[in-house]
Structure 1
Amino acid sequence: MSIKNQAIQTALQGNWNEAIVLNKSLVKENPEDIDALNRLALAYTIIGKLKEAKSAYQKVVNIDPLNSIALRNLKKLKDKNLKIIPLNGNYQINSHFLEEPGKTKVIELINIAQAKIVENLRTGQSLTLSIKRLKLFALLQTQYIGVLPDDIAKRLIKFIKAGSVYDAYVKSASSHKVNIFIKEVKRAKRYKDQPSFLSNSETALLVKNPKREEKDEDSQNNDSYLEE
């Protein structure tokens, strides 16, 4: 098993001290390994070493100023009212919510269902993503919960129709807001070199040059044609 996979598994198992050792090893090999730095920061946060956690997240921001994971967690760590109880023993995180850049994303649904429905949602509940016309709906079994924003839905619909598979879970819910966590389970061969979810910096580039995504798709079409 590679050091990267060992680092991920130790996090899932709640072995945070070992996770720190493994991720520091990865960062030593490649100081710009953003994934390893984010995992390192998470491990430091959980065991209560907030100064080290801030430092690791800051390194990520220095490399990628628009990295959403690092920016979000830095903001939390700088909150003076934040209270974190260090964990001395093993603490296993829900593997559903382990963030992986390009493969996972927390999304706020729009046009959500009535309050009496969404107020009964619980973190971790599995949702189904259903394509209807040009929309991507989030359902709890057959119950409508909400719809994904058009920009995200457009990209995911393209990937799903090509064969990509996603899991979706309730991340948080209140009477007026529902956040879901979407995780790529399988990537379509046609889009093997394209992430399901763009980073903020990549999104900004697409806004400036909307034809870039079309060119990327054309390139993938040519690649799949040659493979056939």
Structure 2
Amino acid sequence: MVDLSTQAIQAALACDWQKAIKLNLELVKATPDDVQALNRLAYSHIQTDDPKKAKRIYSSILKIDPQNLMANKNLNKLKGNISTVKALPTNGQIYIDEPGMTRCVELVNTAPKVVLKKITPGIKAEYKIGKKKIEIRTESGEFIGSLPDDISFYMRRLSEKGNKYEMYIKEVVDSKVSVYIRELIRSFDTKKKVFNSLSSFSR
């Protein structure tokens, strides 16, 4: 069964904003501090011409994560003209492309072509952190490929601090596979009572 987060993203890809609102509301009801779901919910309200709700949601996101780039960016734009926010891509990229928090990466040491032929672009992928590399697998556990050494090293360090990520297969061409990686949870400094200021892909 496809999880609610994936369903919400798929609804956005189809520009079914009412369904996206419904699904993201369910996610937020279950986990009120889910900033990804809140961002999706706010943007869906923008697409249905309800900027007041969007502003309120973006403001609540900034109370949870003051450095959230998407919330800051869209809230500032909403103070101007809603059309400048609605003009952003509506093909689902708004849920994937977030400066400093996402990256598209081509995998290395990919699985044989007979395996890759079964991989459909757009599906959610899982990651497994090893001693040297981070492996990318299907949700059923089948190996797809590995992240390059530099990305593996950096993400492994941040994961040890508490960061979590989600990934989707972007493209499969012959033996080449690329994935979208998105920072899902940023580590929290319990001593300073703030989120880690270092974005996953700020370098």
The TM-score bracket by the shorter chain reads: 0.5 to 0.7
- Of 100, 103, 109 in structure 2, the residue corresponding to residue 111 of structure 1 is 109
Q: Deviations over 1:131-176 (max 9, x none)?
A: 1211111011321111101111111001111211111111111212
Give the match for residue 131 of structure 1.
Answer: 129
Cα distance in 2, alignment partners of residues 181 and 92 from structure 1:
15
Q: CA deviation at 1:8?
A: 5.5
Change (3 A) 1:132 1:98: closer
State the TM-score, normalized to the length of structure 2: 0.56
Q: Which residue of 2 aligns with 1:189?
A: 188
Report % sequence identity.
21
Aligned length: 142
| Distance in 2 (alpha carbons) for counterparts of 1:109 and 1:145 | 8
Question: In the alignment, what sits opposite 2:87?
Answer: 44
* Distance change (3 Å), C-alpha of 1:145 and 1:14: farther
Could you say which structure has the larger radius of gyration? Answer: 1
Partner of 1:26: 76
Question: What is the rounded CA distance, in whole Å, between the counterparts of 2:46 and 2:114 in structure 1?
Answer: 36
1:14/1:154 CA distance change after superposition, 3 Å: same
The root-mean-square deviation of aligned C-alpha atoms, in Å, is 3.7
What is the CA–CA distance in structure 2 between the aligned matches of 1:179 and 1:26, rounded to whole Å? 32
- What is the distance in 2 between the residues matched to 1:154 and 1:108? 15
- Structure 1: 5+ residue stretches without partners: 31-35, 47-90, 204-228
Spell out the pairing of 1:1-228 with structure 2 (5 A cutoff).
9=41, 11-12=43-44, 15=47, 26-27=76-77, 40=84, 43-44=86-87, 93=92, 97-140=95-138, 141-190=140-189, 192-198=196-202, 203=203
Give the secondary structure class of the aligned counterpart of 2:87: helix
* AA aligned opposite 1:44: A
Contact kept, 8 Å, 1:139 with 1:145, in 2: the verdict is yes
TM-score by length of 1: 0.50
Once residues 149 and 162 of structure 1 are traced to their aligned partners in structure 2, the CA distance between those partners, rounded to angstroms, is 20
User: Counterpart of 2:111 in structure 1: which amino acid?
Assistant: A
Residues 100-159 of structure 1, C-alpha deviations (whole Å, 9 max, x = no match): 112111111111111111122112212111112111110113211111011111110011
Deviation of 1:26 after TM superposition, in Å, equals: 2.0
Q: What letter corresponds to residue 145 of structure 2 in structure 1?
A: G
**Structure-2 separation of matches of 1:109 and 1:194:** 24
Show structure 2 runs of 5+ residues with no match. 1-36, 56-72, 190-194
